[in-house]
Each structure stands twice: as C-alpha cells, then as structure tokens.
Amino acid sequence: HKAHGAVADDIVDRVQRRVLDGMGLVVLHSGHHSKIFKRLMGTTANLKWREATDKERIWVVQPGHPIVEGIDEYIELPREEMYGEFFDIPQPDELVMISWFTGGEVFRSGCCFFRGRGKIFYFRPGHESYPTYFNPEIRKVIANGVRWARPVDGPAPFSGVHPANAPLEPLPPEND
C-alpha cells in the first residue's frame, strides 16, 4: 500500500477504461487509497484507522446477496486493524456488510459499485499483521466477490475495434 503513488497514470487510465467497459474490480483493505479506486469513486477515499488489536465483527446487512452466499449473519475476526467512518466514498450502490470494532467504531466494509458496464467490490478486512486472509469465511467472501464482479457477457470490445459510426446494415445508395 505504500506504492500507490508509484502506479503510472497511463496504467490507471487503461484500467479505468476496462472497468467502464465491463471488467470487474475487487479492492481489498488499504486498496481504498489506490489511484484506480479513488479515480473510480471520484473522492479521496480517506477514513479513520487504528493499528491495534481490535476484534472485528463483520455483519451481513444484505442477506441473499451473492457476495455473502454461504456466510452466516456475521464473521468475527479476533484481531484486526480498525477502520472507521467517515469513509469518503460515494453512497454504495449496494451495501452488503458493515463492521463493528471493540473500540465502538463502525465501517461500511462490503461495498458494491456500478461504473459504466463494470462492477466494483470493496472489502475492508486484511491487515498484513494478522492472518485474516487465512480465514475460510473471508476467503469465501472474496471468491464470491470475484464471481459477482466478473462480466456476465464478457467485457465490451476494446475501443476502436469497430468504428462507432459504422452502420449495422448496408446503406442504400445516396441517389435512392
């Protein structure tokens, strides 16, 4: 996460175009400060955080959503870095999970966004000091998020493959 600024802007431009054309994007933990996430959100994506040994309870607030398929009403992580509100992102198109921490903070931790033809899933857990990504429920949410974000009919073709002004059928001669 310390290298977000080192990502070349032309790469961010290309990824943004592909997301808008239908490619899915899953952003984990401190990826909220990545150039591509901030670009697609149009905000700073700033938040409150505390690196401590908080317990995190991640509540499912949209049961039946494909991202939480196979997950009970909450996931409990015994130790995790705290993220708290205010999280400077737009209102999610779908809010799937909310976290609560032992310090009393809450956080929108499972957020879905639609941008162009693409889908974006932001999932908060994952500090590198804790074994979060070894938790089977966390892995399930991430796998479900990947399935949810993937293009249904495939992403749109690259720009310029077919001219936008090309007719679908042959045009009659101009004199007719």
Give tens-digit pLDDT for 101-129: 999 999 999 999 999 999 999 999 988 88
In angstroms, the CA 32 to CA 89 distance is 9
Measuring CA to CA, how many Å separate 123 from each of 1, 34, 107? 15, 14, 11
pLDDT of residue 4: 62
What is the per-residue pLDDT across 56-98, written as a single tens digit (0 to 9) for each?
999 999 999 999 999 999 999 999 988 889 988 999 999 999 9
Q: Which residue has the tokens 């994506």?
A: 45
Q: Is 69 left (phi over 0), alpha (psi -120 to 50) or beta?
A: beta
Domain with residues 27-149, CATH architecture: 3-Layer(aba) Sandwich (3.40)
Bridge partner list, 75: 58
pLDDT of residue 176: 58
What is the Cα 4 distance to its own chain's centre? Answer: 16
Residue 40: closest CA among 94, 145, 113:
113
Q: What is the mean pLDDT of residues 147-169?
A: 72
pLDDT of residue 52: 83
pLDDT higher than 80, residue 158: no
pLDDT of residue 110: 97
Domain ranges of the chain: 27-149
